[in-house]
Structure 1
Amino acid sequence: MHKVYGNIQGIKTSKLKELQQLYEERQPGDRLVTPEFAQALAAISTDIHQPVCCYINRRGQVIRVAVGTPSQTQIPPEELPRHSAKRLSGIHCLTTQFTSEPPSQAALIAMQRQRLDALVMLNVSDCAKRTSKADRQAKEGFLANLVPDLETPWIISPPLSLDDITELDFDDLVQEWEKEISEAGDGILLSQKIVSEQDRVLLVGVQTDNISSQRFEDGLGELVRLVESAGGIVLDTMRQKRSHPHPQTVVGKGKIEEITLLAQKLGANLIVFDRDISASQARNLESEIGIRVVDRTGVILDIFAQRARTQEGKLQVELAQLEYMLPRLRGRGQEMSRLGAGIGTRGPGETKLETERRVIQRRIAQLQQEVNQLQAHRARIRHQRQEQEIPVVALVGYTNAGKSTLLNVLTNAEVYTADQLFATLDPTTRKVVITEPETQERRTILLTDTVGFIHELPPSLIDAFRATLEEVVEADVLLHVVDLSHPAWASHIASVQEILQDMPTIPEKSLIAFNKIDQVDSETLAKVQQDYPQAVFISATKGLGLETLKVRSLQLIDETVEAIPEAQNVVSQNSY
């Protein structure tokens, strides 16, 4: 049985059978469509109150029937014939619409993306009360085809009668169109054949009233780094100012059309928004633009999935991904089948979507149990450290501040480092032996590297990485590493402090270490030294200020140890 694609939910079985029968209607190879087929398509479309698309090859075979607009029912790139970039795909689309307007820009861009031979748009009536057969017929329409023009890569005919459309010599037209494209050389179709394993990304930033211009631009700059860290190529950035995000599509309708056109011109295959967007907003945008849409959290999760190296790191990343994915299940097809399920798991009357949701919920519950076990394991290790009375210093800071580099320099560890956001995820603890300058006593401390923070760290990540972040909670001293060479270092400090404040408890003693001082000018350094007199200033890569850092760390540890008996005395006095 042939498959009907698109939005078929709620369509009666009898109408689905009529749609499936369209596959059996072969068209003449030298014609776009026969009058009988056009009227059959118009009648079904009117009956179900939805546009219908039929994709037909040059042999006249119907290869795809779908419910929806051309932009919503596109043939996936991997299913399109592999032709030269200077040739059309050998497929034309016959579709219906309930207005008398020319094809929308979204429909035209869908034609261009698939390199369709032509787009035939039939105008039909969507009458609530169809009193006669004429109410269910197509009487006119539009014909659109591609041309080798970078600015406007298509031509739309004036309104044509159905007789005019059905009598066109399609063979001659296609030969003429492909000849023009071939003679033009590197035409517009070349953008559709860019071969790259990397995602080609168009960024979209929405500045609302509660975001300053500086914070907005800093956020976009950070998003560029995030996409590059995930392995994508940023092609361009679009911006829009709004008092608040559009509830359905984040940006306005006009901006969606701009995004769609620019993405097509650039050959983008992914749209990334600078803010978290809901599952319904993502679906609406993908439906309008015809390109995959993700938000900032989706990019961060992708980076985490690439960076996790240990079993526990992968465990926490999978938990975060599933919690993020759960509300976005609609329309995912069979992607979740790899997670489990099978015979006997489907309840009576349960839909495929409900089954997938149930499978993911079970997997989340299982992963949360494993994370709890991981927490217990880490707690036992920390208890053993406490029994040995070895003080712990936790490195915290914004991602890419240089924490792992500092750990490597101080402990001769071999933690992976790179000029990337979230280069390391898994916590690493190493011993550091420090000689006190006055007594020459050799003392041992433990230095723990933790996952980097970021502005508005997604809640799902905070929850999934709670076992890792407990290393911060249980430390004696926090060493807050700041990348002084970053233009937004002040907001990085604020973001880290905001995340730390949300934790149940954190060490009372902390020390700010401004890193990468070799990359800033003397005036900036002097100003920050004046504003932060208690901080230390270092360069982990150049080895500057490291001895001062060690001494200050020991001083804070001693202050912490001295404060514990005082607190115990206060408790015992209050107990009488």
Structure 2
Amino acid sequence: METIVYGNIQGLKSSYIKQLQRLYEQRQPSDRLITPEFAQTIAAISTEIHQPVCSYINRRGQVIRVAVGTPSQTQIPPQQLPRRSAERLSGIHCVATQFKSESPDEAALIAMVRQRLDALVVLTVTGGEVGRRGRGATGDVKEAFLAHLAPDVEKPWEISPPVSLDYLTEQDFDDLVDEWETEISESGDGQLPSQEIVSEQDKVLLVGLKTDDISQQRFEDGLQELARLVETAGGVVLDTVQQKRSRPHPQTVVGQGKMEEIALLAHKLGANLIVFDRDISPSQARNLENEIGIRVVDRTEVILDIFAQRAQSQAGKLQVELAQSEYMLPRLRGQGREMSRLGGGIGTRGPGETKLETERRTIQRRIAQLQQEVNQLQAHRARIRQQRQQQEIPTIALVGYTNAGKSTLLNVLTHAEVYTADQLFATLDPTTRKLVITDPETQERRTILLTDTVGFIHELPPPLVDAFRATLEEVTEATALLHVVDLSHPAWESHILSVEEVLAEMPALSGPTLIAFNKIDRVDSETLALAQQKYPEAVFISATGRLGLDTLRQRSLQIIDEAVEAIAPR
């Protein structure tokens, strides 16, 4: 039997950890919910550490999981629950402690439903304040509550009134479970309430934090974009939670009250993933997961996941793996104390590296190898660019916000077959194609190269900027830039600023930039007039509707000539 103590054990003395581990040794009678001895033991430990404790027990009476925290914070992961038919319970019940004399809260009950627990036993223990001072508190059980699933869609559980420990320990558990499962099988469709359907899609709850340094419009645009990112990654957005704070909470990003609201809503909706609209630190992610009991990721991790799905070429896969490895390294974590056996002093020295340290060393070696391969890729692309420059063929790099229509435009102009889709980051790898344009003045056929680049996004994650530097250098070495803007997007002005911010962080760009407003066939006259007024030098096109393409070709020649003239010796 595993003796891992789960949940929030940070800061607990080793003696308390050992007491919790010994709970695994206390086998219960299979026909009883709990014995008086076990109830007093778990109550005493809970009182000493002044934290709620949960133990999960199977129908053979074996304690299979011990955790510090509430039932909603200490749930068994879905993949570790027994596979049983839809009308049957999981075969596991939870015994939890609490310090207030009140019925189990809704978060605990929703956790019971999600795990299909046989029952939830909540013991109200006394002496919590004395226990915090550490002066011999015994942690007596004042009263208990018994909750179980019920065939009711609106409120799929029943809770007993407060009962004594004696009453609870005398109940025949086998008879109770048979009765409850019979009620469920005979009701309606015979399935458990809120039965989760197994799906490959993540069910996501978004969390947005509006701080003083973000405008309301940028905040709303960011949340809409995050929803698109989640959908592009293959997830389903169930709902969004928002909070306003002057700055993020250093431990949990959002405040305690909002965190409890997130936990409750996530369990109600059946979410299995929480996604924040900003980067969060590894410690913040751990704290949130401990409190909410559900996996927590940030915006960068969603983008990395999309890149991993989209990468097709060997070069693209290489760069994505490097970005993921650099992101993952500081986020490696152990499962409790068993990952931390090395230390200083007697009794702490292990036989060698811990698993965590071994994984960290392996990733560091892999990062070094990937970095070397990316450097080689960078050198290879530099040689190709040098050959182009020797042939004196000018290059225009297509840049723009993701899903602005760069790849579609490349396909229309050059008859390329680059993959396109109405998705964020549909293409990652740079593609270069020849474009032949007839000069209207000289009637000379001139050749330029068009290079499609990876789409930009607001606050492009630093690991991606670093990993894709070989791709982004196509931008810095181009003769000129064609900045493609999706004019039909409500946040088109914000997108222009975001792209300009990314470009400003790159080495000095020598060539001029031409803005091409795309998808003009999808915008109203007011938006079109506003863009024409603000950007009189821009061109207005529709790649799919093939509108304004002749003007674009001629303006492309003009900016090439401007660029060549600017660098010509005088």
What residue is the counterpart of 1:457 in the other structure? 460
- Which amino acid in the other structure matches residue 169 of structure 1? D
Query: What is the distance in 1 between the residues matched to 2:80 and 2:196?
Result: 14
Q: In the alignment, does 2:502 pair up with 1:475? A: no
Q: Closer, same or farther in 2 for the Cα pair 1:166/1:379, shift >3 Å?
A: same
Q: Which residue number corresponds to residue 89 of structure 2?
A: 88
Match of 2:83, SS? Answer: coil
The answer to whether 1:31 aligns with 2:32 is yes
Quote the Cα distance in structure 2 between the aligned partners of 1:188 and 1:499.
Answer: 52
* Distance in 2 between residues matched to 1:414 and 1:366, nearest whole Å: 32
Q: Give secondary structure in 1 for the equivalent of 2:323.
A: helix
Residue equivalent to 2:344: none
CA deviations on 1:159-179 (whole Å, 9 max, x unpaired) are 433212212232333334334
Confirm or deny that 1:167 pairs with 2:170. Answer: yes
State the distance in 2 between where 1:148 and 1:348 align.
53
1:503 offset after TM fit, Å? 0.8
Q: Is the 8 A contact 1:97 1:123 kept in 2?
A: yes
Output the CA distance in 1 between the equivalents of 2:18 and 2:334. Answer: 22
Structure 1 residue 145: Cα displacement: 2.4
Cα distance in 1 for partners of 2:241, 2:235 equals: 17
State yes or no: 1:492 paired with 2:495: yes
Determine the C-alpha separation between the residues in 2 that align with 1:245 and 1:468: 33
Q: Alpha-carbon deviation of 1:153?
A: 3.6
Shift of 1:506: 1.2
- What is the CA distance between 1:476 and its match in structure 2? 0.4
Kept in 2, the 8 Å contact 1:448–1:471? The answer is yes
More deviation, 390-399/239-248: 239-248
Partner residue in 1 for 2:75: 74
Amino acid in structure 2 at the alignment position of 1:6? Y
SS at match of 2:121: strand
Distance 1:95 1:163 in 2: 17
Output aligned runs, 1:208-223, within 5 Å. 208-223=211-226
- How far has the Cα of 1:517 moved from its partner? 1.1
Q: Is the 8 A contact 1:150 1:187 kept in 2?
A: no
> Corresponding residue for 1:121?
122
Contact 2:48-2:132 at 8 Å conserved across structures: no
| One-letter amino acid matched to 2:80 | E
Q: What does residue 556 of structure 1 align with?
A: 559
The offset of 1:196, in angstroms, is 1.5
- Residue 58 of structure 1 is matched in structure 2 by 59
Q: d(CA) in 1 for partners of 2:246 and 2:158?
A: 37
**Identity between Structure 1 and Structure 2 (%):** 78
* Aligned-residue offset at 1:484: 0.9
Judged with a 3 Å threshold, the aligned counterparts in structure 2 of structure 1 residues 146 and 4 are, in CA distance, closer, same or farther, namely same
For residues 260 and 128 of structure 1, do their structure 2 counterparts lie closer, same or farther at Cα, with a shift above 3 Å needed? closer
Aligned residue number for residue 341 of structure 1: none
Cα deviations by residue, 1:250-277 (Å, 9 ceiling, x for unpaired): 2222222322222223222111111222
Residue number among 506, 510, 531 corresponding to 2:509 in the alignment: 506
1:14-64 CA deviation, whole Å, 9 max, x = no partner?
Answer: 766665554444322332111122233334555666544322223333333
Give per-residue Cα distances to partners, 1:100-124, cap 9 Å, x unaligned. 5543444333222211111122344
Instruction: Provide closer, same or farther for how the CA distance between residues 128 and 273 of structure 1 changes in structure 2, counting only shifts above 3 A.
Output: closer
Q: Is the 8 A contact 1:207 1:242 kept in 2?
A: yes
Q: Which residue number corresponds to residue 385 of structure 2? A: 382
Distance in 1 between residues matched to 2:206 and 2:184, nearest whole Å: 30
1:210 & 1:17 partners in 2: Cα distance?
Answer: 47
* Equivalent residue in structure 2 for 1:445, among 438, 448, 458: 448
Q: CA, structure 1 residues 16+496, in 2 after alignment: closer, same or farther (shift >3 Å)?
A: closer
| CA RMSD after TM alignment | 2.8
1:328 is aligned, of 325, 328, 331, to: 331
Whether the aligned pair in 1 keeps the contact of 2:429 and 2:454 (CA below 8 Å) is yes
1:529 counterpart residue number: 532
Task: Measure, in 1, the Cα distance between the counterparts of 2:32 and 2:167.
Answer: 11
Structure 2 SS opposite 1:444: strand
- Cα distance between partner residues in 2 of 1:229 and 1:458: 17
Deviates more, 1:302-311 or 1:187-196: 187-196
Residue-by-residue CA offset, 1:467-500 (whole Å, 9 max, x unaligned): 1110000000000000111111111111101111
Mapped contact 1:393–1:476 kept (Cα < 8 A): yes
- Equivalent residue letter for 1:114: Q
Q: Which residue of 1 aligns with 2:246?
A: 243
Contact 1:145 1:155 in 2 (8 A): yes
User: 1:361 aligns to what?
Assistant: 364
- Equivalent AA in structure 2 for residue 70 of structure 1: P
Deviations 1:55-95 (A, max 9, x none): 22233333333444433432221222223434322211123
For 1:481 and 1:165, how far apart are their aligned partners in 2? 69
Q: Distance in 1 between matches of 2:146 and 2:194?
A: 23
Distance in 1 separating the partners of 2:231 and 2:485: 21
Q: Which one-letter code corresponds to 1:2 in the other structure?
A: E
Question: Is 1:265 paired with 2:268?
Answer: yes
1:426 Cα deviation from its structure 2 partner: 0.6
Question: Secondary structure at 2:148's aligned position in 1?
Answer: strand
Structure 1 residues 517 and 158, CA, compared in 2 at 3 Å: closer, same or farther? same
Distance 2:471 2:197 in 1: 41
Amino acid at match of 2:79: E
User: Equivalences for 1:130-279 in 2 at 5 Å?
Assistant: 135=138, 137-185=140-188, 189-279=192-282
Separation in structure 2 between the aligned mates of residue 349 and residue 105 of structure 1, nearest angstrom: 45
Deviation at 1:10?
A: 7.2
Deviations 1:206-262 (A, max 9, x none): 222232322222111111111111111112222222222222222222222322222
Q: Answer with 186-195 or 227-236: which moved more.
A: 186-195
> Number of residue pairs matched?
556
Shift of 1:157: 3.6
SS of corresponding position for 2:38:
helix
SS in 2 for 1:28: coil
Where structure 2 has 5 or more consecutive residues not aligned to the other structure, the ranges are 340-348
Worse-superposed segment, 360-369 or 476-485:
360-369
What TM-score does the superposition give when structure 2 sets the normalisation length?
A: 0.90
Specify the alignment match of 2:346 in structure 1. none
1:286 corresponds in structure 2 to 289
Quote the Cα distance in structure 2 between the aligned partners of 1:197 and 1:365. Answer: 33
Contact 2:113/2:193, CA 8 A, preserved across alignment: no
